[in-house]
Chains A and B, each alone.
Chain A
Amino acid sequence: MNCTCGRLMGIIPIIAEKMVDNVALCEVCHCTEIEKIQHNNNKVCSEMLRKLGVPKQCIGATMRKEFCAFQGAPSVLSGELGLFLLGESGVGKTYQMIAWMRHHIYAGRKVAYVDFSDFLCELRADARKYTNIRSLYDYADVVFIDDFDSSNPYVFEFVYNFINHLYKEQKLMFLTAEALPVQDRLAMRIGASTIQVELIKG
């Protein structure tokens, strides 16, 4: 769509808690309006992340160009595939995952954040609650799992069930972990639904 000034108008998302609206605006004629929208988007997005329990220091994570400088990034950007970020601790996996979380909020997808150590703690406290815990994320289109770990054989069946459930429900998955899961069943699901990217400092 063209603006009255003749320029092609850009699509600007307006983020609200429950939904994302898109409006066509001209970056010259409507520049103050666009600035206001972007400022507000940023605020709403950060507030959503805070409510979802994302670590405070990561809430403002922005998607920089180098964040998606890996082979296959376009299919992650478009929402076809998720991402498995692996690497040593301190390399910035969570930060980068949250940048992707913001990306999907802007794209209008419903997101959920899972602190996996909390998930395991709750599970260990009472495994009978597993179905309830799992259903907490049913609303989401994209599930972000921080610090994923499948090395504990006592909870493996639950962990596998959780990932398999997300897979079957066709949810997009984003995970961070120090290493890739070795169990074949899990690897098959994760391999099919994510691109695995190893972050290396340097």
Chain B
Amino acid sequence: MTAKIDLPNLEDDFNDSPISGANASLTLIVKQISAAVKLPMAMPKGKRREALERYLALFTEDKIALFMVKLSKSIYVKNPKFSIDFMVRNDLVNTLLTGSIEASKVSKYYNVKIMHV
């Protein structure tokens, strides 16, 4: 099952751009991140772009989709310093998908595990 997320105006923007293949999926992911954190995100260039590609290649599409949902509900939504670079450097996909840092943040006494049902 693929998690759903509201992506405002994504379809329109996306259809306007003449992109295809791997570029298209990378562009789509950047747009999804942008929508999730409600901040405009530019496509990284050069080495940063390569790092992003390498990082995303570690995950399945389903995992990325779930990550978008978690990201949109995470503390990063309110962080104006959030960037794609930050996401890659801090391994946010794994951070958000294992151990729900938000739930654990509620109290130091908790250590929340995640179970996909």
Binding site for B on A (CB under 8 A): 66, 69-72, 86, 91-92, 96, 179-182, 184, 187-188, 190-192, 195-202
Complex Cα gap A197–B69 (Å): 18
Closest to A71 in B: B113
Tell me how far the C-beta of B114 lies from the nearest C-beta in chain A, rounded to whole angstroms: 5
Residues in A whose Cβ lies below 8 Å from that of B66: 200, 202
Binding site for A on B (CB under 8 A): 1-3, 62, 65-66, 69, 100, 103, 106-117
Q: Is the CB of A200 within 8 A of B114?
A: yes
Q: Is the CB of A200 within 8 A of B117?
A: yes
Q: Is the CB of A201 within 8 A of B106?
A: no
A/B interface sample: 27 pairs, CB < 8 A: A66-B115, A66-B117, A69-B115, A86-B103, A92-B117, A179-B106, A180-B110, A180-B112, A181-B106, A182-B106, A187-B107, A188-B109, A190-B109, A191-B111, A196-B103, A196-B110, A196-B112, A197-B112, A197-B115, A198-B114, A199-B115, A199-B116, A200-B114, A200-B116, A201-B3, A202-B1, A202-B3
Chain B residues touching A, majority SS: loop
A198/B112 contact (C-beta < 8 A), A86-B103, A91-B117, A182-B106 known: yes
A202/B2 contact (C-beta < 8 A), A180-B107, A184-B107, A187-B107 known: yes
Most buried by B among A69, A72, A196, A199: A196
Residues in B whose Cβ lies below 8 Å from that of A198: 100, 103, 112-115
